[in-house]
Amino acid sequence: MIELYQEFGFDAAHHFPHAADGNRQRGLHGHSFTARVVLRGAPDPKTGFVADLADVEARCAALRQELDHRYLNDIAGLESPSLEHIARWIWQRLKPDLPILARVEVRRDSQRHGCVYDGTT
């Protein structure tokens, strides 16, 4: 089996209304995020590809367009836009069309935070 990935970045604002009083994340703030979509499978003997990366890139570009320069709390399913919820949201959007999706990673490099979601609940 081989894993390959496609990354995309987006900048977005959000807040955590349920964070404790005094938590700096409670107020409106923004981040630069990087998402990595990891696929796992055996290469097709004819093409040599696990997946058509042009197709994967196009699907990620569509998600980027939905997330980039947006207020994440206003996006259905991201009302509480933690790294965990963002990773799961991306998974749910991609998995139906990418059955070999193995995991989604979302990180905020400036804070050295990240999350990995593999589809299990």
**Interatomic CA distance for residues 16 and 38, integer angstroms:** 28
**Interatomic CA distance for residues 21 and 7, integer angstroms:** 35
Q: Which two tokens stand for residue 116?
A: 């990995």
For the chain, the structural domain boundaries read: 2-117
Categorize the per-residue pLDDT at 111 as very low, low, confident or very high, splitting at 50, 70 and 90: confident
Number of C-beta neighbours around residue 3 at 10 A? 12
Tens of pLDDT along 35-89?
999 999 999 999 999 999 999 999 999 999 999 999 999 999 999 999 999 999 9
> Average pLDDT of 4-27?
87
Model pLDDT, residue 104 = 98
What's the CATH number for 2-117?
Answer: 3.30.479.10
More reliable by pLDDT, 111 or 22:
111
- What residues contact residue 77 under an 8 Å CB cut-off, 6+ apart? 85, 89, 92
Model pLDDT, residue 25 = 74
Model pLDDT, residue 74 = 97
Model pLDDT, residue 21 = 79
Predicted TM-score of the model (pTM): 0.93
For tokens 């995309």, name the residue: 8
Model pLDDT, residue 18 = 82
Model pLDDT, residue 89 = 98
Tens of pLDDT along 19-38?
777 777 777 889 999 999 99
